[in-house]
Amino acid sequence: MDGGLVVRLVVNGEAVEVDVAPTTRLVDVLRDRLGLTGAKDACGRGDCGACTVLVGDRAVLACLTLAARVAEPVRTVEGIAAEAADLRRAFADRGGLQCGYCTPGLIVRCHEMLEAAESGAGAGPGGEAAARAGLSGNFCRCTGYRGVIAALLETPTR
């Protein structure tokens, strides 16, 4: 036993059980226990968005989320790879990535916005201003965001 708690999660459609401490963060469970290294532990304090994953239908910062408090299914960038294929292709075509460190978090956040648009639950990416506002919590040091925004706006919703 790692820290006194047994936590049951559903991650990318699979039920998993992990021993954690009460303070163990979701990003640590994903990366260190489950080998899902797409979500990055970059700033570790909620500033950069590199650790973004979906919990239920919401994008959350896995560095600020306690694993023991997660009650809904988790989807990581690995888990949405197939359904985000158009988005990923658009990132590549539009130069939405360079070093790629921020890219998993950006893909997850963009995917959340596209899903919201498809379900009618949210405004979706809308125009460029709305897309920029939606991505304001995801920092990228390389791209200047132009390719990211273009990729998001040209990805078709289903």
Inter-axis angle of helices 85-94 and 103-119, nearest 10: 130
Q: Minimum CB separation from ligand FES for residue 9, in Å?
A: 18
Site for ligand FES in 75-104 (CB under 6 A): 97-103
Rule CB under 6 A: say whether 61 interacts with ligand FES: yes
Q: Minimum CB separation from ligand FES for residue 119, in Å?
A: 25
Task: Of 23, 11, 19, give the one whose Cα is nearest residue 80.
Answer: 11
Residue whose CB is less far from ligand FES, 99 or 121: 99
Report how far residue 59's alpha carbon sits from residue 3's, in angstroms, rounded to the nearest whole number. 27
Inter-axis angle of helices 85-94 and 146-154, nearest 10: 140
Rule CB under 6 A: say whether 37 interacts with ligand FES: no
Residues that bind ligand FES (CB under 6 A): 41-44, 46-51, 61, 63, 97-103, 140-143
